[in-house]
């Protein structure tokens, strides 16, 4: 199976859940920038203090900050990985390309998890995270459409994109994902 994967899709599509399960079963490093940032906020590090207000509004934290987090993790790791929630815009995608070529690595597949907005909003409201209230959710979806969605065309043009229907149960999505990744 492919060992270097990227999960793309709007907030609430199930990236984190699927990435975590796949990483565990395949022995890959699961790198979620959202999880790593939340851990920094929790620990009240300088980085977390810088990110906290931005995250609470549903905006993107600075590319430099996120890239520093990803760089240190990937540099310390030699096996396969699964990136979840990064890159979030074209500048981050370009920075990731530069970082990977310096490590002699490349993205092998990009999985786009797709789901209707109405279902996304319902799922996010049910999750109860600090940034999962109606107003912030709406903003995160706008930020996704404006800044992250252009990555779909970017990775499609590179021939790396596979689309995955994000509707249904965790197990149903997991089975469809496994079928996508057999080759």
Those residues whose C-beta lies under 8 Å from the C-beta of residue 138, and which sit 6 or more positions away, are: none
DSSP notation for 73-101: HHHT--S-EEEES---SHHHHHHHHHHHH
Q: CB nearest ligand AMP: which residue?
A: 34
Shortest CB 92 distance to ligand AMP, Å: 6
Q: Residue 39, interface with ligand AMP (CB under 6 A)?
A: no
Q: Is 93 in the site for ligand AMP (CB under 6 A)?
A: no
SS3 label, residue 120:
helix
* Minimum CB distance to ligand AMP, residue 133 (Å): 13
C-alpha–C-alpha distance, residues 21 and 28, integer Å:
10
Helices 46-57, 33-42: inter-axial angle, 10-degree rounding: 120
Q: What residues contact 179, with CB distance under 8 A and at least 6 apart?
A: none
Q: Which stretch binds ligand AMP (CB under 6 A): 18-26, 86-94, 157-165, 174-182?
A: 86-94
> Which x/- pattern, by CB under 6 A, does the window 121-150 give for ligand AMP?
----------x--------x----------
User: Should residue 34 be labelled a site residue for ligand AMP when binding is judged by CB under 6 A?
Assistant: yes
We find the least distance from the C-beta atom of residue 59 to ligand AMP, in angstroms, to be 6
Query: How far does CA 167 lie from the centroid of its chain?
Result: 18
Site size toward ligand AMP (CB under 6 A) is 17
Q: Could you say whether residue 54 binds ligand AMP (CB under 6 A)?
A: yes
């Amino acid at each position: 199976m492919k060992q270097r994967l990227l999960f793309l899709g709007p907030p609430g599509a199930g990236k984190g859940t699927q990435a975590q399960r796949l990483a565990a079963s395949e022995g890959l490093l699961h790198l979620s920038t959202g999880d790593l940032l939340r851990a920094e906020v929790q620990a009240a590090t300088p980085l977390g203090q810088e990110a906290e207000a931005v995250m609470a509004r549903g905006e993107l934290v600075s590319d430099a900050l996120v890239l520093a987090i990803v760089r240190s993790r990937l540099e310390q790791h030699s096996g396969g990985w699964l990136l979840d929630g990064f890159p979030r815009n074209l500048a981050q995608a370009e920075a990731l390309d530069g970082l990977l070529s310096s490590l002699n690595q490349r993205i092998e597949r990009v999985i786009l998890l797709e789901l209707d907005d109405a279902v996304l909003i319902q799922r996010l409201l049910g999750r109860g995270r600090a940034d999962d209230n109606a107003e912030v959710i709406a903003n995160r979806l706008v930020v996704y459409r404006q800044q992250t969605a252009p990555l779909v065309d970017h990775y499609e043009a590179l021939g790396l994109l596979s689309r995955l229907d994000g509707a249904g149960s965790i197990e149903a999505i997991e089975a469809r994902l496994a079928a996508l990744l057999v080759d």
